[in-house]
Every structure is written in C-alpha cells, then in structure tokens.
C-alpha cells in the first residue's frame, strides 16, 4: 500500500530540505504516492494565487501533507502567513501543533503542544480611523471552551502515554485574566480525569527562564497559540538549534489530513546554497510516518538522526547520510 501525500516545498530552503525528507522516507521502504503543490510567496508573485478553496477540497482526499517553508521578502507580511499557512491550519482544523525537543546530549526531552486554531492568531480585531492621528488598532484573543479543552485533552493523553507522565500548562493567568481563567479552569477539570498525570503551571515569562536554565523539568507542555509560537523558537535554540526542530499540525480526530513541517522558515539568506540543515524536515517526515501508523519507519529515522554531532555537511550530504543509516 501507498500513502497519498500532498507535498508543498514552498519557498527558499523549502525546495532543498523537502527532497531530503522524501529521500529518507524512500530509504525506509514506506511507499508514498506524492502530489506536488506549487504554493508560497514565489507562486504568489508569479500569478497572485495563495491557496484556493478548491485546493483545500482536493487535500481532503489525502493521507497527509508535507510542507517545507513559506515566505518571500518581496511579499508583504501576512499575505502568505494568513492566506496559506494559517488557512491550512484553520480550514483543515489542525488544532494541535506538536513540537518535540531533544537536547543533543539527551539531557532534556520534552514536547510542546501548541493550540493551533485560536488565540491571537484567529484574526479578531481591526482598525478604526486608520491612517489618522487618532487611529485605533485592536487584536483580540479568541479562546473557546471547545478549542481549549480539545487541545488540553490531547496533551493529557500524550503525557499519560509517556514515561514521566508530567504535564505543564504555560500561560499568563496573572494578567490575561479572561483567557487565562478559561485555560486554568479547563486544565484543572480535565486533570481530574487523569490522576496518573502529575501537573504544573508556569507563567510564560518564567517558562522562558526555565527553558534556558532548567529544561529538564519539562515532559509535556500545553500552551496557547502565540505563547507556543514564541516558546518553540526558544526551545529549538536550546535543543541543538532551530535546524533540528520538527512539527506536526495535527487533526487528532482524523477528519482531515494532518500537515507536517519544520519549525524554521524559508531562510532566503541561505537559500539555493545547499547549506540548510534538512534534519528538521526529515524529523517532521518521521512524525508524519508515525502519525500514519508507520511507527517502525519513524523510529528508524529518529535513530538515524540521534547523533546530531555527526550530521555535518551540505544539505544533500546530510540527507544522504541519514538515508544511509535508516
């Protein structure tokens, strides 16, 4: 059997890291039936297309999507981010963004579960009197009980399946007293259903210190969309670098295909030079295989990437090396 995968290399180094991820999957023997989608800033500059509803409808028939990176300096901020990446996350209801972090020396091993469809990313807000000296801009944070609860529930299930069974909620309940209160109550109510999972709470500013000084304290973390965005860049930086940070945008209910992508961006400064680290894309591919039930192939890819110090060389050399090890 063969999985139907939509592949979106995107922009910049996306074109370089995705072929390496596909090369490594091929080396595992798992068979993919891939469909390429030319989307991103470069495509938008050519013909103005970002992502149509017809393409989204087509994707519903796929098993998963693999994305490289999107973003081009010539396109104004927000066009591709909101029109492509966030549209994928929202329209396909990819409500969990799962981002694992492993220290190169194995001293920490934690997973951030970032709520992926709400918060400040929802796009609530607007301008009043724009362009005048009295202009007003508001940007709200949308938090639904349903949205918060399903994400927290996923995090508890994940924590319960791990050895340490520890879950930390990160928020800013001392200042964001409306959203924070909803998160806090939901977290405590769901916690009562998981007596085997020990819990903790950190304010997001304190979590930044712990990420740098004592990341060993974490097992699974659950947090909102914007805190999760910021924290996972920091987590990447303290876990060998952003070049190793992988992610899965998951629809745990499997009512639509999940999407897997490295945490990094399109890196226009190093694009086209065969210099980008393909490991983040390769580990995202491993997560995709595991989500599809190919746990053995996923584990073999992870093992092949474990000795990060040995993964040096050009993009293609690192891809070849990992492929030779799986």
Give CA–CA dist 56/50, Å, rounded.
Answer: 11
290 touches, from Mn ion, ligand IPM, none (C-beta below 5 to 8 Å by class): none
Question: Which residue, 98 or 173, is less far from ligand IPM as judged by CB?
Answer: 98
149 touches, from Mn ion, ligand IPM, none (C-beta below 5 to 8 Å by class): none
Nearest to 227 by CA among 170, 145, 142, 166: 170
Q: Residue 165 CB, nearest distance to ligand IPM (Å)?
A: 27
* Interface residues toward ligand IPM, by CB under 6 A: 81, 85, 229, 263
Question: Which residue, 222 or 326, is less far from ligand IPM as judged by CB?
Answer: 222
Give CA–CA dist 244/228, Å, rounded.
Answer: 17
Q: Residue 92 CB, nearest distance to Mn ion (Å)?
A: 18
Chain mean position to CA 114? 8
Give CA–CA dist 23/317, Å, rounded.
Answer: 12
Cβ–Cβ < 8 Å for 101, 231: no
Choices 74-82, 179-187, 224-232, 300-308 (CB under 5 A): range interacting with Mn ion: 224-232
- The CB-nearest residue to Mn ion is 229
Give CA–CA dist 275/289, Å, rounded.
Answer: 26
Active-site pick, 37, 154, 172, 224: 172
Question: Which residue, 3 or 154, is less far from ligand IPM as judged by CB?
Answer: 154
Q: Is 261 in the site for Mn ion (CB under 5 A)?
A: no
Active-site pick, 37, 121, 154, 218: 121
Active-site pick, 181, 233, 253, 269: 233
Q: Residue 97 CB, nearest distance to ligand IPM (Å)?
A: 7
Query: Is 121 known to be catalytic?
Result: yes
Residues near Mn ion (CB under 5 A), total: 1
Give CA–CA dist 239/110, Å, rounded.
Answer: 10
Query: Is 233 known to be catalytic?
Result: yes
First-residue to last-residue Cα distance in the chain: 20
235 touches, from Mn ion, ligand IPM, none (C-beta below 5 to 8 Å by class): none
In sequence order, the β-bridge partners of residue 96 are 115, 250
β-pairing, 198-203 vs 246-250, is unpaired
Choices 163-171, 227-235, 293-301, 315-323 (CB under 5 A): range interacting with Mn ion: 227-235
Cβ–Cβ < 8 Å for 14, 266: yes
Query: Is 229 known to be catalytic?
Result: yes
Q: Residue 263 CB, nearest distance to ligand IPM (Å)?
A: 6
Query: Is 47 known to be catalytic?
Result: no
Cβ–Cβ < 8 Å for 22, 7: yes
| Residues sharing a CB contact under 8 Å with residue 259, sequence separation 6 or more, in sequence order | 64, 65, 66, 67, 88, 89, 92, 94, 248, 249
Active-site pick, 36, 38, 205, 307: 205
Q: Residue 233 CB, nearest distance to Mn ion (Å)?
A: 6
If you compute the radius of gyration of the chain from its CA atoms, what whole number of angstroms results? 20
Question: Which residue, 85 or 250, is less far from ligand IPM as judged by CB?
Answer: 85
| Residues sharing a CB contact under 8 Å with residue 216, sequence separation 6 or more, in sequence order | 107, 108
Among 11, 115, 224, 229, indicate the residue that binds Mn ion (CB under 5 A).
Answer: 229
Question: Which residue, 8 or 263, is less far from ligand IPM as judged by CB?
Answer: 263
Query: Is 33 known to be catalytic?
Result: no
Q: Kindly list the catalytic residues.
A: 121, 172, 205, 229, 233
Q: Which residues bind Mn ion (CB under 5 A)?
A: 229
């Amino acid at each position: 059997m063969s999985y139907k995968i939509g592949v979106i290399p995107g922009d910049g180094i996306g074109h370089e890291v995705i072929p390496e991820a596909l090369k490594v999957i091929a080396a595992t023997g798992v068979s993919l039936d891939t469909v390429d989608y030319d989307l991103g800033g470069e495509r938008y500059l050519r013909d103005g297309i970002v992502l149509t509803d017809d393409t989204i409808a087509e994707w519903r028939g796929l098993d998963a999507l693999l994305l490289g990176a999107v973003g081009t300096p010539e396109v104004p901020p927000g066009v591709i981010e909101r029109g492509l990446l966030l549209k994928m996350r929202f329209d396909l209801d990819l409500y969990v963004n799962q981002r694992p972090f492993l220290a190169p020396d194995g001293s920490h091993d934690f997973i951030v579960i970032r709520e992926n469809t709400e918060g400040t990313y929802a796009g609530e807000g607007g301008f009043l009197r724009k362009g005048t000296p009295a202009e007003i801009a508001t940007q709200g944070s949308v938090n639904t009980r349903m949205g918060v609860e399903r994400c927290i529930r996923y995090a508890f299930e994940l924590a319960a399946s791990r050895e340490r069974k520890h879950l930390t909620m990160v928020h800013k309940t001392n200042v964001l007293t409306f959203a924070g209160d909803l998160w806090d109550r939901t977290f405590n109510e769901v916690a009562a259903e998981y007596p085997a999972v020990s819990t903790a709470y950190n304010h997001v500013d304190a979590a930044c210190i712990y990420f740098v000084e004592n990341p060993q304290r974490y097992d699974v973390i659950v947090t909102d969309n914007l805190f999760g965005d910021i924290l996972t860049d920091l987590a990447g930086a303290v876990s060998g670098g952003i070049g190793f940070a992988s992610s899965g945008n998951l629809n745990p209910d499997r009512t639509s295909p999940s999407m897997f992508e490295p945490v990094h961006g399109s890196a226009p400064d190093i694009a086209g030079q065969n210099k980008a680290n393909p490991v983040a894309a390769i580990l995202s591919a491993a997560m995709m295989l595991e989500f599809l039930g190919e746990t053995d192939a996923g584990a073999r890819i992870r093992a092949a990437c474990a000795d990060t110090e040995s993964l040096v060389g050009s993009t293609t050399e690192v891809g070849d090396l990992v492929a030779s090890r799986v």
